[in-house]
Structure 1
Amino acid sequence: MTDEPKTTYKRVMLKISGEALMGDQGFGLHPPTVERIAREVQSVHEMGVEICMVIGGGNIFRGLQGSAQGMERTTADYMGMLATVMNALAMQGALEALGIHTRVISAITMNEVAEPYIRRRAVRHLEKKRVCIFAAGTGNPYFTTDTAATLRANEMSCEAIFKGTKVDGVYDKDPAKFDDAVRYDEVSFDDVLQKRLGVMDASAIALARDNDLPIIVFSLDEPGGFKGILAGEGTYTIVKD
């Protein structure tokens, strides 16, 4: 690797898509898959790393798709935010079954199922080694969970964003469609934007770039991948200036 992530990360953001929770199903939650991802988080938690999480909602409802089908965009986006809360609660259940204290923190107030987002309280949870799952995006329509993850990562003073995907890094083109796709070991924020490499949406990339927050893209399907990268091993792409 040209520039491996440092092994002394103390606090990180893990961003995964809602689709990551549905396994081989075409929709919804697949409990064995949720448990598998929870065990990946557990392995890093046991290293003493403080973990934030943001999970998308595309396995249940995606606001942009609802809008494309004629639904009013703001309403569709709020429905997508509620989907992320459902995923967060599922992950909380899986983590707490493993004995990991977890807090779901929602940008939309719903006191019966989640804490409201209060930055200093969330920081305190992390200091107490609780996993914080930030749900309901930013609480505003027109913003993706990628942007929400980058925003919360900055607010929580995370040292990096770990973006778990189905592939082991960032490629110059879709490796599922092109056999000659080339993986980057390292790529700049500006190249990601200019070449439209699809790491995260443009707002999230710009926010990470402006705050010097590296993004590490890795395969969530690789057993032990999350822990391995923190130990200086594995295959990944690091996005940085």
Structure 2
Amino acid sequence: MRIAPGGGSLIVTVPRGLSARKIRAFLERHRGWVEERISGAPDRVIIAPGAVIPLHGEPTLLVHRGGRLVTRLQTLPGTGGMLSPDAGNHRTSADDLFTAAGLSFDEVTPQPGGAATPDVEGVQRQLLVGGDEGHFSRRVVDFLKRLARRELEAAVRRHAETVGLHPKSISIKDTTSRWGSCTHDRRLAFSWRIVMAPPDVLDYLAAHEVAHFVEMNHGAKFWALCERLCPHTEAGKAWLKRHGSGLHAIRAG
């Protein structure tokens, strides 16, 4: 029995043929455990105009502008100018990983005319999205997937050069059981949600999977190689363990 990623549901695996009565009795015996875990799960966030989600570990306001606007990242009025397409694609020190993760996923209150004023302190940038509002969520997710692919491919390429082996393919998915995977023939798969984490966490994930090119296990040699590729391995692992469920709680509208 476990809580699903994002905390939205309970997953129970039972032996074939177990009666419904015994399953109900088992759930009743563990009611307290379930209620405690569910109450501690992160609030679900719907990708919609006026919501705030993390991007590169920084809270970002989602704004619908409509028209033929190409989705782009921009600083909020009064906080600076337009961000470049690579904004946020910088290295964060391991010491800053946890302070950068102090995000709130509270929604903001939309204002007349399509504008929005954040309720959350520290929001300094916005993701501007064009097109019909009915396609808003898909456009945001498409933007995040493209960004995740670009940044993961760059990180994988850098670490692959170090080990002298290269991936056969890289896939971007929406997995819930793992953040990344590597097959014996070096086919990599990653969750696009990792782009919402601080850059050093994404870098750790890429290094972790590239380390499997050499060590298809999680033994001592694997972790030693992972540390050599990515000195902030421990901080990245800890961040995902602590905050990963919050990224899974962000859902398309």
- Which TM-score bucket, shorter chain as reference? under 0.3
Q: TM-score, normalised by structure 2?
A: 0.25
Q: TM-score, normalised by structure 1?
A: 0.26
